[in-house]
Structure 1
Amino acid sequence: MPDTPVTMPRERTDPFDPPAELSRLRDQDALHRLSYPDGHVGWLVTQHSLVRTVMSDPRFSARAELRRLPVRRPSADLVVGKPAPPGMFIMLDPPDHTHYRRMLTGQFTVRKMQLLEPRVTRIVEDHLDAMAASGGPVDLVQAFALPVPSLVICELLGVPYTDREEFQGYSATLASLATTAEEGTAAMEGLFGYLRDLIDRKRSAPADDLISDLIAAGELNEEELVNISAMMLIAGHETTANMLSLGTFTLLTHPEQRAAMLAGQAEVNNAVEELLRYLTIIQYGTVRTALEDVELAGRTIRAGDGLTLALPVANRDPDRFDNAHEFDVTRPATGHLAFGHGVHQCIGQQLARVEMRIAFAALFTRFPTLRLDAEPSQIPLRDDMNIYGVHRLPVAW
């Protein structure tokens, strides 16, 4: 394999496919030298089995002060290259990561998420009622895909949904690849200030919610509480919202797959896994750093080398999935890496599954004639964000 470094491919030719150059690199080799914006030369990991290996090997660190990002993102300088703020466990290694994560694991079990299903169903139905009353057309992002998971995570955490414009604005600013360091600083300060005030109110008047529970446990100081709350609030609505909107776009352009999905609950469950595999919306943020020299796929990864894990093409790896480039809701799509793997696997994955299963089935059952209200080529894509999706999705019925 030639050692000439590549830069991170970003050019998409199809709204549902990873960059074609990224797929070509995966088919060529599991590992490529990768040139980072700061001049560092690390590695691009493209194949499914090797991505799993890196994610489960403690010799590869997720620590913030060691990580490098494969695309320029000025606002990331606020955290990348510096130790993670207390509580930001996604940018920590065990045992620090374990210390924080264990406080939350019990809140996101399969059983607890199943208990939430009636409330998620009601939230979904309320938004579908509002869509029907409007008569359409609507932007599905604003009418359905964004508010449903936002309201769910707000209720779970204890964040007033009436404040959604404020925290969604901060979240969008922090997710943009174009956000400057100054804009990112202002957004973080705004979000943290908002959450500090909320936590102060909950100390005086606790409620039946996750933030109140964390306060009552007494294990976290205010900075830890603010950082954990911010991380969960942002992750809890950004990712699912984009899966709902991009997933709907995908299903609207694949009518035969949409029909197969609606055959029954088992088919809906399987379709959600296939959508997660096929779309893999985390574009650039899955990175690790070698803590020591490691032999990987016949190459020597040196201590300090950065690794970027190309999840979108790892989930299209033909060595792992038959006809991997095709969208097929009937395939057994288990084993995908959309939620990561290893100790950092997404803690909220069961909540996301519940929301998607209920939302997709209800949307297409309620509106069987749902259609795009624009040409597919006119749908604005989130190429400019760390989490892929669509900025708007005009639909009618």
Structure 2
Amino acid sequence: MTTATQCPFVARSLPGDGTPLTPSPTLAAWRDEAAFVPLDFQDGHEGLVATRYDAVRSVLEDPRFSMRPGRMPVGPDGAGSGDSAAVPLEAAGDLDEAGQRSDALNLLNLDGEVHSKLRRAVTARFSVRQARSREPWIQAMIAREIERLRTLDRDIDVWRDYAQPISARTHCHVIGIPEHHYETFVALFVEESTAQQKYDFIRALLEERKNNPGEDVITDLLNNPDLDRIEVEGLLRLLMGAGRDSVAYLIATASVALLTNPEQLGTLRADAEKIRPAVEEFMRVGAMFVTLFARTALEDVEIDGTTIPAGTSVSVSPVAANRDPEHWEQPEEFDVERDAFGHLGFGHGIHGCIGQQVARVEIREALTDLLASFPNLALVDAEQLTPQPFAHPVAVYEAGHVLVRLGED
């Protein structure tokens, strides 16, 4: 048995020479080296990173690890690129007192019963059954987006022109944001805005929806007697800001994967039903998170023969775990007929992606309609084919523009 802090390795920063479909070879080298290797964090902490599939799953499902403190790994430039003291996706700025209290209830920061209580309040709307019930609405919405693409007399950016509107509209539909607020939602949660502007929107929306219930998350939260207003606002801020970009990223990245692998594209064109299980392969090879938010050991924890001392923060890499040859055959190959269930593209454990069932429907339907509507679809250029800066300090790949020619002629 070894103790992680006694490993004879020098701590290191995350590599920046990878792309969504071709991760940095450094991750594979670390995976070969040990279950856990040293990693520097922005606050000076010397922690660890896990890249092996079994080790990653073990950390994510072990309650002896906490989401606090919200440490961020050192990026490829050798320095921190964001606020390492907190997990929220943008700085709170001059938030009022109520907003600061709501921000403290971010599910990504919480553990134990407080986390379980807040998560239970929203999970019902993201079940498999609920996702299936949303399919007709999602299909009709995507059909309208396809028709809108036909009106654009230029090359199409799958990321901005197609994937982002689909994910934003579905987000609004499931959460319960009325259509007349769609443009405001985009301005605040897709584009740049302050935390206070987000909370002002959420509060006005809650007042509007009190007497206008629906089959959505907002109605559930307003009717939940176990939640106070601060908790409701905090949950909505997280839900409005999280997950939407991940869905849009996967639609864009899966499009690149298919358009640069004609044999795999041909397989799906020949049998459209194969896209259902293929979504899991898209998630496996195109995972967005190089590392997830770090977990910190609350006590000494032994995993795979390694003792992780109490207080040690561990980042885990879905990107590396999804290509672990000990778990996957020929892991570097993109194969739409592979059984890729069990991938970690949606995370794992109690902090796994709440909206993953709805996300599967969005990704599947968006790609099905795009391929069926434009049989001569061709890739013009994709920024993500070359390394880009991470989109967030936690180490998230950027989708970048994905320019395609519809080729309707």
TM norm structure 2 = 0.86
1:176-325 equivalences under 5 Å are 187-325=194-332
Q: Could you report, residue by residue, the CA deviation over 1:278-324 in whole angstroms, capped at 9, with x for unpaired residues? A: 01102333310000011223332111100000110111100000010
Matched AA of 1:44: V
SS at match of 1:272: helix
Report Cα offsets for 1:215-263 as digits up to 9, x if no partner: 0223322221111112112224111011111111111111111111234
Q: 1:335 to 1:295 in 2, by over 3 A?
A: same
Q: Could you say which residue in structure 2 is the equivalent of 1:180?
A: none
Q: Could you say which residue in structure 2 is the equivalent of 1:3?
A: 9
Kindly state the Cα deviation for residue 140 of structure 1 after the two structures are TM-superposed. 1.7
**1:1-397 correspondence to structure 2 within 5 Å:** 2-12=8-18, 14-63=19-68, 66-71=69-74, 72-75=80-83, 77-79=85-87, 85=103, 87-164=105-182, 166-171=184-189, 187-374=194-381, 376=382, 383-386=389-392, 387-396=396-405, 397=407
2: CA distance, partners of 1:108 / 1:349: 8
CA distance in 2, matches of 1:35, 1:200: 45
Contact 2:41–2:73 (Cα < 8 Å) also in 1: yes
CA deviation after TM superposition for structure 1 residue 165, in Å: 5.0
The AA in structure 1 aligned to 2:10 is: T
Deviates more, 1:222-231 or 1:115-124: 222-231
RMSD: 2.4
**Which range moves more in the overlay, 251-260 or 90-99?**
90-99
What percent identity do the matched residue pairs reach? Answer: 32
CA distance in 2, matches of 1:189, 1:351: 28
Partners of 1:292 and 1:393 in 2: how far apart?
A: 45
Taking a change above 3 Å as real, the CA distance of residues 208 and 221 of structure 1, as seen in their structure-2 partners, is same
- Within 1, Cα distance between the matches of 2:127 and 2:134? 11
Distance in 2 of aligned mates of 1:3 and 1:109: 44
Return 5+ residue gaps in structure 1 as ranges.
Answer: 175-185
More helix by share: 1
Runs of 5+ consecutive residues of structure 2 not aligned to the other structure: 1-6, 75-79, 89-99
1:76 shift after superposition: 5.3
Decide whether aligned partners of structure 1 residues 173 and 30 sit closer, same or farther in structure 2, where only a CA change above 3 A counts. Answer: farther
With the length of structure 1 as denominator, give the TM-score of the two structures: 0.89
